[in-house]
Amino acid sequence: MSIPSRGGETILVVEQEPTARATLCRTLRAEGYQVIPVGRGLETQWCVERQGSWLHLLVAELAAPESDHYHLGIPLTTLLSSTPVIFTSREPRETHVRRGLLHPAAPFLRTPASPGVIARLVRRILDRSGAATLM
């Protein structure tokens, strides 16, 4: 997959809460990214099947009320084997690490976050060689 010029990458945002999803998407679009917003696991799988080779980053809510989006990545690893992921949550990283849902070194964004924090983390993950992938 070729990387477009800085800021032109395609990012899939998986967030169930509409306001949080809109905030993430608005912030990323303002930075010049192409954003595909989805709210549930099945929507995500459908988007990946249609857009998988064009995705440069997945930003996924880690602990959603109905499901754990961490687990939605498992059946998608063939399609997204080289796509970096940033997990988001309203809960602290340590909570998810203790539950065994998040590796301590996995890219993580505690929400809500300022647009600057979001933009810097996304850019750092996209620029970093050998970025963490879904598995």
pLDDT at position 66 over 80: no
Long-range residue pairs from 20-25, CB within 8 A, at least 24 positions apart, any chain: 20/61, 20/88, 20/111, 20/112, 23/112, 24/59, 24/88, 24/111, 24/118
Q: Is 40 exposed, middle or buried (0-12, 13-18, 19+ CB in 10 A)?
A: middle
**Regarding predicted confidence, which is higher, 123 or 48?**
123
98 Cβ contact list (under 8 Å, min separation 6)? none
Which residue, chain included where needed, has tokens 């099947």? 49
Average pLDDT over residues 23-34: 95
pLDDT at position 4 over 50: no
pLDDT at position 45 over 70: no
Q: Which fold has domain 10-127?
A: Rossmann fold (3.40.50)
pLDDT band of residue 109 (cuts 50, 70, 90) is very high
Lowest mean pLDDT among 22-36, 62-76, 100-114: 62-76
pLDDT band of residue 92 (cuts 50, 70, 90) is very high
**Regarding predicted confidence, which is higher, 46 or 57?**
57
**Regarding predicted confidence, which is higher, 75 or 113?**
113
pLDDT at position 3 over 50: no
